[in-house]
Structure 1
Amino acid sequence: MAAASGTPYVLVLYYSRSGATAKMALDIARGIEQVSGIEARVRTVPPVSPTSEQTSPAVPDEGAVYCTLEDLQQCSGLVLGSPTRFGNMAAPLKHFIDSTSSLWLNGNLINKPAAAFTSTGSLHGGQETTLLTMMIPLLHHGMVLVGLPYSEPDLMETRSGGTPYGASHVAGTQSDNPLTDEEKRLCTALGKRVATLALTLDSL
């Protein structure tokens, strides 16, 4: 889902180890592309290694390609996703965010809408804290944080994932739970909301 030249896009940037977060990213991208005049650009980040050796190919064997700073700089909006690691975002995503100082110095992301999504092994496995950890650097970049409003009825009905802080999924201890209908709809709604706001803010 790469944007054509000159077409504004929302960057869906995620890290996924077992595949659940990657599936959420695709549902978010579908929501973005329901909005006319903007596209989704889905990107991932490589795993990190405790050594300085290259441990992954320059281009992934499957799935989304790796994000570049230019992908982030040129986006009209951002949706950031990660599985939880002890209530925090995963190290590979944090490693990429830590490399964005040049964009911060130049103010490249100021006033662009941004949201977050996450997947956890259990219902109380740190979903909301993980979403909040992803929001902190976005605030430092001057981005406009976007959550899910309670006008989305699934927020009141879900017995799985879904929070006002962003989309979430309960993957299970073996990461084999499929996304529920409520989780899918909330992912789509989040993507659609960020895309709509991105076009609105672009026009100001």
Structure 2
Amino acid sequence: MTKVLVLYYSSYGHVRALAQAEAEGARSVPGTHVDIRRVPETVPEEIRQKAGFAADDTPVATPADLESYDAIIFGTPTLFGMMAGQMKSFLDQAGGLWARNALVGKVAAVFASTGSQHGGHEATILSTQIPLQHFGMLIVGMPYSFAGQTTADGIIGGAPYGAGTIAGADGSRTPTEIDLDGARFQGAHVAQIAARLALPDQQEEAA
């Protein structure tokens, strides 16, 4: 059984919607177990309410949880062209895993939500991949075999580096069906690669 974790931070629900689609895609691959978790919130509840943050009852992960998965798909909103501080804080607490090389060889992918098409969408995905490579993880993007990302018929998120959506300046846009399809594609793509990488170990155990 290949174990995949979809780990995200979401303020207004856009990244959460993509996370659910990523999980749906990963679960479509036979022999895959998928968990969805969020990183802890660092914004005080009073500010969350004033800002209109969406309620989220998804269980919270700890850095120690990451070691038990074959693949981890990270989702984050874009804040000033970078990952959200909540996600960065979570990764900063994973130094013990880094010191033990506990994540080396595991599959990783990133997806994101951005307020506008030119609000740092690709920069966020690419820069989020940097610490994952320091952990020794193997980065998976969203290849052009997902043809939806090449359409010019409307505003869509995502890039060859990972799935995504455009939330709009006021957060009123919801992920399009193409955005969600891209997330499903990436989730399945990650699960398939993780299963292939785990196959030699499974064969060795069987022998």
The answer, yes or no, to whether TM exceeds 0.5 is yes
Post-superposition shift, 1:48? Answer: 1.9
Amino acid paired to 1:165:
Y
Structure 1 consecutive aligned stretches of length 4 or more whose deviation exceeds 2 Å: none
Amino acid paired to 2:170:
Q
**2:151 maps to 1:182:** no
Q: Deviations over 1:70-109 (max 9, x none)?
A: 3211011011110001000000110000000111111111
Equivalent residue, structure 1, for 2:113: 119
Post-superposition shift, 1:49? Answer: 5.0
CA contact (8 A) 1:87 1:130 kept: yes
Equivalent residue, structure 2, for 1:153: 147
Equivalent residue, structure 2, for 1:104: 98
Equivalent residue, structure 1, for 2:189: 193
Structure 1 distance, partners of 2:101, 2:69, is 13
Unaligned segments of structure 1, at least 5 residues: 1-6, 56-60
Structure 2 distance, partners of 1:62, 1:91, is 17
Q: Deviations over 1:16-56 (max 9, x none)?
A: 01110011000000000000111211110122259xxxx9x
Equivalent residue, structure 1, for 2:203: none
Equivalent residue, structure 2, for 1:128: 122
Structure 2 distance, partners of 1:125, 1:49, is 22
Q: Secondary structure at the match of 2:30?
A: coil
Q: Secondary structure at the match of 1:203?
A: helix
Cα distance, 1:180–1:49 mapped onto 2, change above 3 Å = closer
Structure 2 distance, partners of 1:46, 1:162, is 25
Instruction: Give the alignment's TM-score, normalised by structure 1.
Output: 0.88
- Any residues of structure 2 matched to 1:38-53 within 5 Å, and which? 38-48=32-42
**2:79 maps to 1:81:** no
CA contact (8 A) 1:11 1:71 kept: no
**2:89 maps to 1:95:** yes
Q: For 1:24, which of 15, 18, 39 is the aligned residue? A: 18
Unaligned segments of structure 2, at least 5 residues: 49-54, 201-207
Instruction: Give the alignment's TM-score, normalised by structure 2.
Output: 0.87
Matched length: 189
Q: Secondary structure at the match of 1:114?
A: strand
Q: For 2:8, which of 3, 14, 34 is the aligned residue? A: 14
Q: Secondary structure at the match of 1:67?
A: coil
Equivalent residue, structure 2, for 1:171: 167
Structure 1 distance, partners of 2:43, 2:142, is 34
Amino acid paired to 2:122:
E
Structure 1 distance, partners of 2:114, 2:76, is 9
Structure 2 distance, partners of 1:67, 1:17, is 16
